[in-house]
């Protein structure tokens, strides 16, 4: 029996991106050089990923009830500008492509005060059945939602 959930309302921003994370760089996020350590970039991008997936309908209840999951196949981060303790950051995300079982998206992390891009992160993920640990197709409504979002972003 298919699991149906109410879709979460997407929050669109400029340039067709979605706001998927907003937070602060705390002093304990910084390394011996004085800037945010790469482990915290990964954590903030991970939170942005779950917020993006939520907006596609891949909600916590869907993941629990369907016994499906998501796994990263690749993740590439490019660091452009330092972030320091006290900086406020936001991540905006774009769906690049969705296929039967695969999704590709990119996050851009901005210094919210200056508007400068601090880092980008390109991720390829796979939808999977957690019971048999194999890939499986995205439900049609999720694919349609991602395709619509991708088209909106391309048009922006």
Q: What digits encode the pLDDT tens for the residues 22-56?
A: 999 999 999 999 999 999 999 999 999 999 999 99
Strand blocks (E) in 38-150: 68-79, 88-98, 102-111, 117-129, 134-135
List Cβ neighbours of 99 (8 Å cut-off, separation of 6 or more): none
Task: Give the separation between CA 37 and CA 39, rounded to whole angstroms.
Answer: 6
**pTM score of the predicted model:** 0.88
* Tally of residues, the chain: 156
Residue 8 has pLDDT above 60, yes or no: no
Class of domain 14-155: alpha beta
The percent of residues in the chain predicted with pLDDT above 70, rounded, is 87
Over 90: is that where the pLDDT of 80 sits?
A: yes
Triad 12, 92, 89: Cα angle to 5°: 125
* Burial state string for 114-153 with b = 16 or more CB within 10 A and e = fewer than 16: eeeebbbbebebbbbeeeeeeebebbeebbebbeebbebb
Q: Which of 136, 148, 137, 103 is nearest to 122 (CA)?
A: 103
User: Residue 118: pLDDT above 90?
Assistant: yes
In the chain, what are the domain boundaries?
A: 14-155
């Amino acid at each position: 029996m298919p699991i149906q959930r109410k879709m979460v309302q997407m929050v669109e921003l400029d340039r067709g991106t979605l706001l998927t994370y907003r937070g602060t760089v705390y002093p304990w996020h910084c390394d011996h050089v004085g800037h945010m350590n790469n482990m915290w970039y990964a954590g903030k991008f991970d939170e942005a990923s779950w917020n993006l997936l939520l907006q596609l309908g891949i909600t916590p209840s869907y993941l629990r009830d369907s016994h499906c999951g998501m796994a990263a196949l690749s993740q590439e981060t490019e660091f452009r500008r330092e972030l320091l303790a006290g900086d406020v950051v936001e991540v905006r995300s774009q769906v690049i492509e969705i296929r039967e079982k695969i999704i590709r998206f990119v996050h851009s992390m901005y210094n919210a005060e200056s508007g400068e891009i601090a880092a980008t992160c390109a991720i390829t993920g796979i939808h999977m059945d957690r019971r048999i640990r194999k890939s499986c197709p995205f439900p049609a409504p999720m694919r349609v939602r991602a395709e619509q979002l991708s088209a909106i972003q391309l048009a922006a």
